[in-house]
Chains A and B, each alone.
Chain A
């Protein structure tokens, strides 16, 4: 087999220019696919990186679930069941309040564990004291209060909550909160929330269930298993992994479409190989006749031509990968500053990402196309009539 390749190699060497042109043809196609795929992969990696930066992957947010049309509420027993799966398990309540100036805000009734789980950090002021009507504000809502209500840390603010009785009748309750602290901005919905003591919140609303649970794990690798277990309890889970998954799904689809269009150039490369091989069979008709007369089987002839195609595929794949890396580098060095300047998005390290899978795919595509393109010419060579072939000079 090795010898078949050596003989094929020699055959290709005798037609250097032609071989070089085919190699270029196929490798340009491979380079286009590799470059475009690296762009798709780069965008995906950057998007996932952004999500990972702003989200905690070890956190699962549990909310009430729906099963067979019934709402599964988060009761004390559910909290106890969930607490088996996380290192920190913090149930909380969430209610809508409105100030007298009609500023709506959400207040979460939380415990100390919640602060741990969400890793909340104060920017100013201090933490709320349990059993009091003190609140800590997220950065956005804090700014809103300061601008609209003129309420700063240390001030009180009057708010109203609307409660619905069992018959659906609404009653309003007025509360006066004391603002004691403001959180650092996080870029998440925490910025729009206010935080108060959970027991006070439940006392105000009279709720005997929770609106959610924050489950914090030690390692992000534990997230999927914990999540599956909690979902088995009938509750709904959300984690940053959901967003990563959806980014991956979208980008895979986009990359696939882009790669499909760029692979049109591969078809051209494949046709070039078919054409060149047919010409080569024609030129070597006489030689094929001799080869058959001295004992080559049809399979030997097919092997002879396919070996040449495999060599073209391998070399084309390597060259294509090299050109693809260069193409990818070009996209990165030209495209990145342009995107940063035009979209004004924060600078990121690379626009394109090359990984071993992309290179392996490029290599394989080249090999497969070369071999497929060689099948018909090889078959034609094998089927040549030796008498006619020998007569041709």
Chain B
């Protein structure tokens, strides 16, 4: 479960204004909105990477905005995070995926190798352990990122633009993967996506940010039939409207 209460964040100008939302456990929550609406900042606040200027963030029962660094690290272990631009390290695919296990858990090497192979099978990249991410396509890097974000079996996973820059077929494969991962692990998932039609196919709930405010929070069907002008224009990709 993730709960945000009255989140404000300002950098040079206001980025998030009084954002409150609830993401129930076991739900896929899609966060949509135009560019620079504050979506990625909201994710970083949920993961404790950025501190809000005001408001509270709860991850399960922990109010992460009130935790010290050590306690925050314990909460972060519950969260898998796929970054928009992959954020893969300059090491092999296997080393990238195994990184959280090696650093955070005292597991035998054989088990680590086994879990890396299982993750790579799961993301349809078997046998790529020794490849370097720089030599892979965008879709493959995304899938390596998904494998790394989920190898420690976190109960919460944040996907920031998992399909940005990918072709429609690869995008749908990534969405299917996210859905399968969520079902197999009964995880709570938040997804940021500019591909509205794609993400609505897997989302249980949808939130839309516009100019730092949460202007919509409802089901995928409610988003499709919303009469709120900005939501209607964004969800249906209309050229005429307030955006």
Do A and B originate from a single complex? no
Binding site for A on B (CB under 8 A): none
Chain A interface (Cβ < 8 Å from any Cβ of B): none
